[in-house]
Every structure is written in C-alpha cells, then in structure tokens.
C-alpha cells in the first residue's frame, strides 16, 4: 500500500517499523520512576550532612524536592503530548532541533549508564561489607548481565519486576521507621538544635548540600522515556509520575528522620549505607536483615530502570539518524531495542570497573548528576517555547501544568543554584563536563549533521501539528 512505503533516493522501499510495543500502565511508570530513584534513599544523600549539617540536609532535601516537582509538572505536560520514546530527547527533537536533541540524548545516556554502574557496584560492595573475603567483581558483573538479559527479553516483565522490587524496598524503610523508639526521636531533635550539627555553614551549606540531596529524586524524569510504550500516555504518564514524586517526597523525609535519629551527624555524613547502618543501631536482626534486603533490591531496581531508560534514549537517537541507524533495530520476537541494550552493556561495565578499582565512584556519579542538571535546565527553557508554539486550546494535553510560567522559572533558578553548589568541591568536574559536551556538539555539527535524514528525524512519531504562526 502507498502509506506503507517511503521514497529513498528515488527508489521505493518498504517502510521499516521501529515502534515499540504499548504494554505499560501507571503502575509500570511508577515502578520505573521510583525504582531508579529509591536507591538514593539508601545511599548518597547523607553526604549532604557533611555539607550543610542535619538541618541543612533536610532543607536541601525539600528545596530540591520543589525543583523536581516543577520538573515533573513540565515533563508531564510536554511528555503527555509526545507519546514517543526518548523523553526529554523527544521533546527537544520537536521543540529545539537536532543539535539540542543530540546533546540531551547523549546526556540521558550518560546519566543512566553511569547510575547503572554505580548501582551494580554497590550490590557487590555491600556483600563485601558482610565478609571482607568476598570479591565484589563477580556480583557487579552478574547484576549487569542479568538485568541486561531481562531488558532484552521484554519491557513488560522488566517493569513488573521493577514494581515488585521497588515496593519491597520502600516497605523496608517503613519497617525501620516503626521499629524506632521515643528516645531515638529525642536524639533527632537534639541534633537539629545543635548549631554545629544542625546548620553549621548557614545558607551556603544548604546550597552545597543540594548536590547530594538530588540523590533523593535523581532519575524520576525517566518516566517520560517510556511514553511510547504506554497503553495510554495521557493517563499513564501523569498518574505514574505524580504518584511517584509523592512517594519519593514521603520516603526522603522518613529516610532523613530515621537516619538522623539513630546515627550521629559525624558518622551519618560519611556512611556508605545510611539506612542499613541505622538499622544495625537498633540491634534487631529482623530489622537489620530487612534493610540489607531493601538496599540490595533498591540497587537492582535502579540499575534495571537505568538500562531501560538509557537504551530508549540511544534507540531514539538512532531511529532519528542522529547516530548510525544500526541501533534502531527492534528484536523480531521481543520488540525491544536489543542492539541499543547490548551496545550500552560494555560501557556500563567499564564505568563499574573504573569505580571499583580507582575509587572514583563519586566522580562518575558527579558527571551523571551534571548531565541530568543540564537536561533539567533545557527542559525549563523548552516549556516557554512549548507554550508559545502551542498555546492553550490549540493542542490536546493529557496534563496541564498550573501557574505557568512560575514552574519553569523556579526550575531554572533551582537548577542554577544546584550547579553553583556543585562548585564547592567539584569545580574541575563541572568544567570537564561542559568541555566534553562542547566537544560532542562540535563533532555533531561538523561531522554527523550532514548524515541526518530529516524525513526520518521528524516523522517517526505521531503527526505533529504545525505551531502557531508557522
């Protein structure tokens, strides 16, 4: 049929199908978003104690929570209109053009691949913490290989697993909360009242703590990357993302409360597994075992979601010819972007080995966070352009962000503040990251741009309406 064929260089060829299966619902979106993020409540966030003190840590947690609330509002409005894999990449594709889309796609891939490596590494090292004779390397590789195989086989089973793992991990946090006693709560209040441990560096400490408070929420924006695989994008994406954000806000506050109640600020600020260490303080074997299980499951769920999101971003870039179209192939049986999934595996393993043998895991995670923050900044800018190109009433929206342009202004401002906070201790990483993406942009502009097939670039998704004033 005519609609099933496209003209290429004067010849007529069958049109290749590169569309993912629509099998996901709100539950799966919740499991994807929260699953990636929940590991940040089991590790990493507590370094904000060293930067801003106990009170500064929770203030940074809530301030960064506002950042992500505005991000989810914007993400969900634009994402519910663009039911196409790639999330923020797909948004930039339609709103900002090839160069910005390429950069965002690259940033998303690095954000999630590096987080996958960090999550897998933690599984190995926490097992080693039980017995120093344990070699973490086999467990790091086992987690990556097993989850890659699961993603290769199909997204529906993958997200079902993520939902179960994430729910169990979240329940273990509640187990620790209800196992606490009155004296523990009193200890927490004492820490808040102590100027040295509560807010030792004032507002600057709070800004510095925002870099690590972002661990409570980093990755929730990945819900939009599965938009094309939702049965109803307009329903699944808003419900899954908004409920996921509420879950994370509650979980973050509980995590801070129980850990600051059970562990002294000095020890908490340098703990590798704060929730697990807090559980050990209670000397209850059931609670300790629960939090050990929760930490491992949270890491596995996060790594699993990272593989899903990174491969969708890489697949989308390839499908749109921003990178070679080799990675746009779908598995003939499972309908998964299997080449993208397999291609990113050795990259994740390389980062994992680097973190394991060099001790530079914090450097890897910092680059991941920086990549995410730049994406958030561009999302805020895209919101202004989206509302200008498609005013209210001109296009159907599954969700409408209220109070525009306030969410976009708040998002841009808080992202800038967080990047400024990263300067304290990681300014070299910031410079290196910006130089890397500048070099990638030059390569794309001078070399790759001429290979773009603009028909494929803009026509692989739904028919996009012409903007106002076109």
Mean pLDDT over 144-173 rounds to 90
Q: Is the pLDDT of residue 467 over 80?
A: no
d(CA 111, CA 88): 13
Residues 220/36, Cβ–Cβ less than 8 Å: yes
User: Locate tokens 């840590």: which residue?
Assistant: 57
d(CA 291, CA 274): 10
For residue 3, give the nearest of 470, 463, 466, 465 by alpha carbon.
463
E-assigned strand segments in 24-166: none
Query: Do the domain assignments include residue 380?
Result: yes
Structure tokens, 91: 């948004």
Tally of domains within the chain? 1
Residues 288/98, Cβ–Cβ less than 8 Å: no
* DSSP type of residue 4: G
Mean pLDDT over 126-142 rounds to 88
Structure tokens, 441: 């942009």
How high is the pLDDT of residue 10? 37
How high is the pLDDT of residue 437? 96
Q: Is the pLDDT of residue 381 over 80?
A: yes
Local confidence band at 150 (pLDDT 50, 70, 90 cut-offs): very high
- Cβ partners under 8 Å of residue 195, min gap 6: none
How high is the pLDDT of residue 456? 78
How high is the pLDDT of residue 435? 96
For residue 315, give the nearest of 232, 375, 226, 378 by alpha carbon.
226
Residues 469/388, Cβ–Cβ less than 8 Å: no
CATH number of domain containing 436: 1.20.1740.10
Domain containing 145 equals: 31-458
Q: What's the 3-state SS for 96-115?
A: CCHHHHHHHHHHHHHHHHHH
> How far apart, in Å, are the Cα atoms of 70 and each of 77, 93, 242, 389, 411?
11, 21, 11, 20, 6
* DSSP type of residue 11: E
How high is the pLDDT of residue 195? 44
* Lowest mean pLDDT segment, chosen from 35-49, 406-420, 455-469: 455-469
How high is the pLDDT of residue 311? 92
CA 321 from centre of chain: 24
CA dihedral 455, 24, 115, 54 (to 10 degrees): 130
Q: pLDDT tens, 438-450?
A: 999 999 999 999 9
Local confidence band at 468 (pLDDT 50, 70, 90 cut-offs): low
Query: Do the domain assignments include residue 214?
Result: yes
Q: pLDDT tens, 280-311?
A: 988 899 999 999 999 999 999 999 989 998 99
Query: Do the domain assignments include residue 430?
Result: yes
Helix (H, G, I), strand (E, B) or coil at 123: helix
How high is the pLDDT of residue 470? 45
Strand-pair partners of 5: 14
Q: pLDDT tens, 61-98?
A: 999 999 999 998 998 888 878 767 668 898 898 889 89
d(CA 25, CA 203): 42
How high is the pLDDT of residue 63? 95
What value does the mean pLDDT of the chain take? 85
Residues 123/299, Cβ–Cβ less than 8 Å: yes
Query: Do the domain assignments include residue 23?
Result: no
Structure tokens, 241: 């993302």
Q: pLDDT tens, 193-205?
A: 454 457 888 889 8
Q: What's the 3-state SS for 264-321?
A: CHHHHCCCCCHHHHHHHHCCCHHHHHHHHHHHHHHHHHHHHHHHHHHHHHHHHHHHCC
d(CA 105, CA 313): 6
Mean pLDDT over 362-387 rounds to 92
Helix (H, G, I), strand (E, B) or coil at 6: strand
User: Phi/psi class of residue 10: alpha, beta or left (left: φ > 0; alpha: ψ in -120 to 50)?
Assistant: left
Q: Is the pLDDT of residue 458 over 70?
A: yes
How high is the pLDDT of residue 158? 83
Query: Do the domain assignments include residue 17?
Result: no
Q: pLDDT tens, 217-276?
A: 988 887 777 767 778 777 777 888 889 899 999 999 999 988 988 888 888 888 888 999
More confident residue, 189 or 168: 168
Query: Do the domain assignments include residue 4?
Result: no
Backbone angles phi, psi at 100, to 5 degrees: -65, -40
Could you tell me the sign of the dihedral formed by the alpha carbons of 190, 194, 196, 199, in that order? Answer: positive
Q: Is the pLDDT of residue 14 over 70?
A: no
405 preceded by cis ω (within 30°)? yes
Query: Do the domain assignments include residue 100?
Result: yes
CA dihedral 176, 177, 181, 186 (to 10 degrees): 120
- Cβ partners under 8 Å of residue 446, min gap 6: none
pTM given for the model: 0.86
């Amino acid at each position: 049929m005519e609609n099933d064929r496209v003209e290429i260089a004067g010849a007529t060829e069958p049109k290749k199908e590169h569309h993912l299966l629509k099998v996901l619902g709100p539950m799966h979106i919740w499991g994807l978003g929260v699953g990636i993020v929940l590991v940040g409540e089991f590790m990493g966030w507590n370094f904000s104690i060293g930067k801003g003190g106990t009170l500064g840590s929770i203030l940074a947690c809530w301030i960064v929570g506002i950042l992500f609330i505005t991000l989810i509002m914007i993400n969900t409005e634009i994402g519910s209109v663009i039911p196409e894999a790639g999330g923020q990449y797909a948004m930039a594709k339609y709103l900002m053009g090839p160069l910005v889309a390429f950069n965002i796609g690259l940033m998303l891939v690095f954000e999630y691949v590096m987080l996958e490596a960090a999550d897998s590494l933690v599984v190995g090292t926490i097992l080693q913490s039980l017995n120093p004779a344990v070699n973490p390397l086999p467990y790091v590789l086992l987690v990556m290989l097993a989850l890659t195989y699961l993603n290769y086989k199909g997204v529906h089973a993958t997200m079902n697993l993520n939902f179960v793992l994430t729910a169990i991990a979240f329940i273990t946090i509640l187990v620790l909360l209800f196992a606490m006693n009155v004296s523990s709560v009193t200890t927490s209040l004492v820490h808040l009242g102590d100027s040295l441990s509560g807010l030792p560096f004032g507002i600057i400490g709070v800004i510095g703590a925002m870099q690590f408070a972002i661990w409570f929420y980093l990755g929730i924006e990945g819900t939009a990357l599965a938009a094309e695989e939702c049965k109803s994008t307009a329903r699944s994406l808003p419900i899954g993302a908004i409920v996921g954000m509420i879950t994370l806000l509650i979980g973050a506050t509980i995590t801070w409360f129980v850990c600051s109640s059970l562990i002294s600020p000095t020890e908490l600020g340098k703990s590798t597994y704060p929730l697990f260490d807090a559980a050990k303080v209670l000397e209850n074997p059931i609670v300790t075992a629960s939090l050990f299980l929760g930490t491992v499951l949270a890491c596995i769920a996060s790594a699993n979601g990272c593989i899903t999101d990174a491969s969708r971003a890489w697949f989308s870039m390839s499908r749109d010819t921003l990178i070679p179209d080799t990675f746009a192939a779908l598995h003939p049986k499972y309908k998964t972007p299997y080449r993208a999934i397999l291609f990113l595996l050795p990259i994740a393993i390389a980062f994992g080995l680097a973190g394991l043998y060099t001790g530079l895991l914090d450097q890897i995670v910092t680059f991941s966070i920086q990549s995410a923050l730049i994406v958030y900044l561009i999302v805020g800018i895209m919101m202004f352009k989206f509302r200008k190109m498609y005013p209210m009433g001109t296009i159907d929206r599954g969700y409408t962000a209220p109070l525009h342009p306030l969410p976009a202004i708040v998002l841009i401002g808080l992202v800038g503040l967080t990047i400024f906070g990263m300067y304290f201790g990681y300014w070299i990483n910031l410079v290196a990251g910006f130089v890397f993406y500048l070099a990638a942009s030059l390569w794309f502009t001078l070399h790759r741009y001429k290979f773009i097939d603009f028909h494929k670039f803009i026509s692989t998704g739904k028919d996009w309406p012409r903007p106002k004033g076109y």
